[in-house]
Structure 1
């Protein structure tokens, strides 16, 4: 909004255009001459030849990462907190206030305060102090020079740049450049970031009126431009104009706000009556020490790492440095549903009072991880790999900007891996009611598990009612390893691994002789026959590490009736109105017919730890992996499963590789008693938060075309203090400690970023056993 009339805004008579032009040229000539005399003709020529214009500048603009709703921010990335809003999309509040605060002749001057330039020239010649009194255009020129990395040392540069800017761009453009560039304090650069930081509002004129920055609020912000931050040498005596800093700063703010208000009356932006009715706003948000942080210090900080790792593989960002994403001003919408994420953190962060009672107050080396995936889409709806994005990721791994693998998300799955064995069996036409010889111990000469071998025969830890001859479904509920080792031999390790791969397990960690750390095998790229040679029959009982994220995606595939989708974290990337990238949802069919899916659901819903108390049909499987030769001490415990609407995997272990031991000294920690309560609480809370109808996701009953399944004792409610019966075979190989590093990684443990301490290592165990 420009003032009109025959006089300048400060009341002086406007010279004719010709007289004004001649006067300006004379003043600039005198200023240039004086400054060149003091700084040298060479330097003066450099200033003229290196004038930066706004088109030369690439302002770093914050990229914001959002939850799936596209409205709730998760994290802000970038070197500076800045969100650029085009001038014509800003409301008038800040445009008017900044002119009244900093340059009341802005609309009529030539971009240069000629008197100020002469004062600076004289000070330069005489050795006096540097002078101020710059126009908005000069202030922008100074900022532009700093952004270009050019040290501003003379008033001449500012004046020449400002003069050229004024000749090249309209006043509106220059004011837009200025408002999107200058600092306002609290780390906010540009008026939009300031409006959000100080008032939780926006300057966009297309926003609802109640969300737009008001005139009075804009005046508070524009007062801060004079001194955005406190003087570090005297923060109490020279605190600036942030009214929340201290009493002196608030009085400074009020005084300058009144000065701006008077200027707005003189400029015609306010009438005297409007000014008299305008109240100083006391709604400035308190100073939040964490407000300037990016959000990477929260559990969702790990999600951001996965988001960046995923985007680095997309066409718009492949091969480009991370600054392109972080400082590009993008809006990244993730797949993370805040309702699901809140439920995940409440259940899996065992340091919180919201975690299940069974896992609260336990030793500090206890650690849980949880990943939830939407069946049919592969969208990761919830992810908890640790309490901070600057810490270890126990749920998965990703590649950083340099291609290095980061994270710590692989753990032996134990009996929870049997879901893939069972799926491979029903795909192969093996009915879940087919009976298997299931003694307490059994030799398997083909796999080297005999009495004379170092590992010995496979044995079951406890006796199930159906033994010594059990239907496959009974052996599944009882987690009999003798049965599942035989099943794996019958199917072949290649078929079991292939089922896991097709369902969603993309990586497994093999034990390499002579290497202290298991190495990652990419199941997607390695030939199937080569993969099968890397893993022994023990794969069927969960000896080899997988990630929580992959396991959750595998469960989502079964929840979707055998339709596999790629697990992913990004829904869309936009910049302004431009769509930069969007998710491409696609499914692959496992090839399981409906009867196979029904038998899978029917069997796994009988696992007592998978029973939910909220009327949802649910299926799942527990698992443990033990320490050394122990039959009672577990290092890794699992609970995985699904409903028709949500699938998730939970791991509970230790950060140092020591066995799980309760504060009471008990080693009795199992899949049903540790991760089981976490899984059940999360699944109940998440499905409730999503407000879905369980009747739409009922499991179908299998046909069992041959005979009806044997009747058994009714399934009891979920266990909370006793383990699910299972076996503890001794593997034929001696796995070394789990490694967070994929293959072809450095031998040292990775860190999330170079500035962080190494991730915790795991204590090697001579032999581990599944449960």
Structure 2
């Protein structure tokens, strides 16, 4: 039956014949063009599956080797060999995208003809792409829906199908195609959408299931919402909106039916399947880079460390970021969580003493494992792209970055004490300890600009105190005299051997403290950079170095290099692994026991969880002030964990509470953070306190001293009548030459000794310790 036109007339046959002829000529031209292009491109160098260098994201993991910390690289992709994949995605993607995949020659001839008809006849342009063609499009970076692109796509697909097996092509397709949410390749998609893997060697509960694979393969049709109409064309991500979920369900049903037709499922198996509602929510914070989180600072240290290894030295960062490596860090997720909860003072989880304080308050915390040097927790700020208040690292250009140095005040006295007991001095040795004392040899007299040394605290033992009493009461007079007796070089040497790799000196005429590398030069030469005030903590050190020093004492005087990387692997290949090594500080058992015995009597160091603990507070004042403090510290250890905490300000101004008080000290500022962290981290690690008990010293020839629970002079807060007026002088002006430095392991590149200053500019010059 013939249908009439609008005017009732019958269309003329010559016009219909002419249209058909036009179509035949167009299709013929298309096919002829294919032949010409095939001849021209067959000998061209076109990307093939083995030639194509896909950027593969590097995963940075916590110490358990499973929990991700960060993804690095331009694309979130983890390549899994075809033979290592389970069958779930292999079957679903064929059912979704190319049901003739296993029988076609790389192109769908019927589909090409159908596309040609639609294109020439004015219908909607059609893709008619097989899986091989889709991969060819990515491999050759072919974009747009043009005839020339389709021709070249078909030629490359033919070439791929001739040269490679179907299994190889499908494997490369699954490792290449985008799935949305920034995931490229099936493994990244499985992790992103379901927290699972496609690896067949993984435990069954962790492997991607067929129903989950069907959800992912539905996404390939439109991985992301149309930016021009995100609500009306949202794609197939079921967590985007209701329409996207319905799209996903409809496509999932289509794939399920295809799997039945292909024999992957029986009709009954298909009927028993249920659409999974376990797709993870879209991370609304996904746009925030991993480097913008607190652990972003850890990543900076990781990269700096790896640049100095044999595996990566001299190579650009892209080699690491896009190399598909698995970097296992030393960071224990349990410890890191405890560190952030305590030291991020903007959180409700921080100790009450430091919550709700002015915005310029800032804390930093580093925890190190005794005996290994593994950094278990690191908090240098709430943004990895911001200032690092806990340490410093080198960037790709070899420049020092970070602002982790702060005058340690009385917390540095731990190194003085260690040097003394290493020399055989008993902590019961008594010192003349008046409130004020002149030291002419160091230029601290009443006639000098700096004046005599004054105690910031008062103790009941004064004016004659045992060294342990002076330690607990943090008497500056005693420790200044101790530093003179020992010699500045010996104190610096002890700090260096314990783990302090850098110290910042004051250079006359330079407003910024300058870093001095302590690791290479002889102690006597290093001592020329610093005055006797080093013994009472005038010169800045990093929180990281201080924590490593505490770990050395926790390990009985065995120092290990602090580091952030445990291993680097790629696939099944080991690329680099940590090199654990120890050096002995030279503390015998009695010296270690006296050190523990003394510092466990510091009230601020006492934990209420049954663990033996030792530590020391520190405070450093602002300028000539005797009441305003800029830096507060708490450092210490148990037998299983060592840490250092600094609390100060981002702009170098004195610490002032929201109530207007300047009464902020090591014992009231940093110490609550330290105690909370040590208590919670130890509990989270599920360690047995009985295995880490301190041993009592012998005190040869002496009578027993009181137990740690007996009343002792307190350093938890200064006496209201005490007047902390110590005002150390600046160090003598040394040579401006700076030793070289770097992050371990590997040779040390030459760096500028001056590091980044905090947002508020260089720190206020500080004069007195507590």
1:700 to 695, 698, 715: 695
What residue number does 1:484 align with?
479
CA change 1:578–1:157 in 2 (3 A) is same
Alpha-carbon separation, structure 2, partners of 1:46 and 1:517: 63
Backbone CA RMSD of aligned residues: 2.9
Alpha-carbon separation, structure 1, partners of 2:184 and 2:667: 52
Shifted more, 527-536 versus 554-563: the winner is: 527-536
Matches within 5 A, 1:712-751: 714-715=710-711, 728-733=725-730, 750=756
Q: Answer whether contact 2:101 2:130 (CA < 8 A) is retained.
A: yes
1:351 to 338, 346, 351: 346
Matches within 5 A, 1:174-253: 174-253=169-248
Q: Answer whether contact 1:419 1:621 (CA < 8 A) is retained.
A: yes
Shifted more, 708-717 versus 351-360: the winner is: 708-717
Alpha-carbon separation, structure 1, partners of 2:177 and 2:111: 21
Alpha-carbon separation, structure 2, partners of 1:686 and 1:147: 53
What residue number does 2:680 align with?
685
Structure 1, residues 506-534: CA drift from partner, whole Å, max 9, x if none?
00011111111111111112333321101
Q: Residue 733 of structure 1: CA displacement?
A: 1.4
What residue number does 1:22 align with?
none
Shifted more, 277-286 versus 675-684: the winner is: 277-286
Structure 1, residues 254-306: CA drift from partner, whole Å, max 9, x if none?
22222222221221112222222222222222222224655333222211111
Q: Residue 483 of structure 1: CA displacement?
A: 1.1
What residue number does 1:505 align with?
500
1:142 to 137, 141, 149: 137
1:98 to 88, 93, 96: 93
Q: Answer whether contact 2:137 2:143 (CA < 8 A) is retained.
A: no
Q: Residue 745 of structure 1: CA displacement?
A: 6.2
Alpha-carbon separation, structure 1, partners of 2:491 and 2:41: 71
1:760 paired to 2:754: no
1:600 paired to 2:583: no
Alpha-carbon separation, structure 1, partners of 2:515 and 2:688: 40
| SS in structure 2 at match of 1:580 | strand
Alpha-carbon separation, structure 2, partners of 1:747 and 1:594: 37
| SS in structure 2 at match of 1:382 | strand
1:524 to 515, 519, 522: 519
Alpha-carbon separation, structure 1, partners of 2:161 and 2:509: 71
Instruction: Provide structure 1 residue ranges, at least 5 long, that are not aligned to the other structure.
Output: 1-26, 751-757
1:286 to 281, 287, 295: 281
Structure 1, residues 133-158: CA drift from partner, whole Å, max 9, x if none?
11100100001112999x99622221
1:544 paired to 2:544: no
Matches within 5 A, 1:242-641: 242-291=237-286, 293-641=288-636
Shifted more, 761-770 versus 715-724: the winner is: 715-724
Structure 1, residues 570-616: CA drift from partner, whole Å, max 9, x if none?
11111121111111211111111111111111111111111111221
CA change 1:530–1:124 in 2 (3 A) is farther
Alpha-carbon separation, structure 2, partners of 1:141 and 1:444: 81
Q: Answer whether contact 2:456 2:769 (CA < 8 A) is retained.
A: no
What is the TM-score with the length of structure 2 in the denominator?
A: 0.89
Q: Answer whether contact 2:458 2:718 (CA < 8 A) is retained.
A: no
Q: Residue 747 of structure 1: CA displacement?
A: 9.8
CA change 1:135–1:734 in 2 (3 A) is same
What residue number does 1:754 align with?
none
Q: Residue 543 of structure 1: CA displacement?
A: 0.4
CA change 1:86–1:262 in 2 (3 A) is same
Matches within 5 A, 1:14-163: 31=30, 33-34=32-33, 45=40, 48-117=43-112, 131-146=126-141, 154-163=149-158
Alpha-carbon separation, structure 1, partners of 2:164 and 2:54: 18
Q: Residue 35 of structure 1: CA displacement?
A: 5.9
CA change 1:657–1:292 in 2 (3 A) is closer
Q: Residue 716 of structure 1: CA displacement?
A: 5.8
CA change 1:445–1:297 in 2 (3 A) is same
Q: Residue 431 of structure 1: CA displacement?
A: 1.5
Alpha-carbon separation, structure 1, partners of 2:111 and 2:664: 77
Alpha-carbon separation, structure 2, partners of 1:372 and 1:708: 36
| SS in structure 1 at match of 2:625 | coil
Q: Answer whether contact 1:670 1:723 (CA < 8 A) is retained.
A: no
| SS in structure 1 at match of 2:188 | helix
Q: Residue 130 of structure 1: CA displacement?
A: 5.6
Shifted more, 292-301 versus 385-394: the winner is: 292-301
What residue number does 1:674 align with?
669
| SS in structure 1 at match of 2:431 | strand
| SS in structure 2 at match of 1:621 | strand
Q: Answer whether contact 1:142 1:152 (CA < 8 A) is retained.
A: no
Q: Answer whether contact 1:481 1:726 (CA < 8 A) is retained.
A: no
| SS in structure 2 at match of 1:333 | strand
Alpha-carbon separation, structure 2, partners of 1:768 and 1:506: 23
Q: Answer whether contact 2:401 2:755 (CA < 8 A) is retained.
A: no
Alpha-carbon separation, structure 1, partners of 2:724 and 2:57: 53
CA change 1:381–1:485 in 2 (3 A) is same
Q: Residue 112 of structure 1: CA displacement?
A: 1.6
Alpha-carbon separation, structure 1, partners of 2:704 and 2:159: 88
Q: Answer whether contact 2:27 2:117 (CA < 8 A) is retained.
A: no
Alpha-carbon separation, structure 1, partners of 2:93 and 2:766: 71
Q: Residue 759 of structure 1: CA displacement?
A: 4.3
CA change 1:460–1:709 in 2 (3 A) is farther
Alpha-carbon separation, structure 1, partners of 2:603 and 2:428: 18
Q: Residue 621 of structure 1: CA displacement?
A: 0.7
Structure 1, residues 13-48: CA drift from partner, whole Å, max 9, x if none?
xxxxxxxxxxxxxx99964643698xxx8x984685
CA change 1:493–1:734 in 2 (3 A) is closer
| SS in structure 1 at match of 2:353 | helix
Q: Answer whether contact 1:611 1:718 (CA < 8 A) is retained.
A: no
What is the TM-score with the length of structure 1 in the denominator?
A: 0.89
Instruction: Provide structure 2 residue ranges, at least 5 long, that are not aligned to the other structure.
Output: 1-25, 734-738, 742-749
Shifted more, 506-515 versus 115-124: the winner is: 115-124
| SS in structure 2 at match of 1:285 | coil
Q: Residue 641 of structure 1: CA displacement?
A: 0.7
Q: Answer whether contact 1:735 1:766 (CA < 8 A) is retained.
A: no
Shifted more, 216-225 versus 108-117: the winner is: 108-117
Q: Answer whether contact 2:531 2:731 (CA < 8 A) is retained.
A: no
CA change 1:764–1:359 in 2 (3 A) is closer
Alpha-carbon separation, structure 1, partners of 2:336 and 2:713: 27
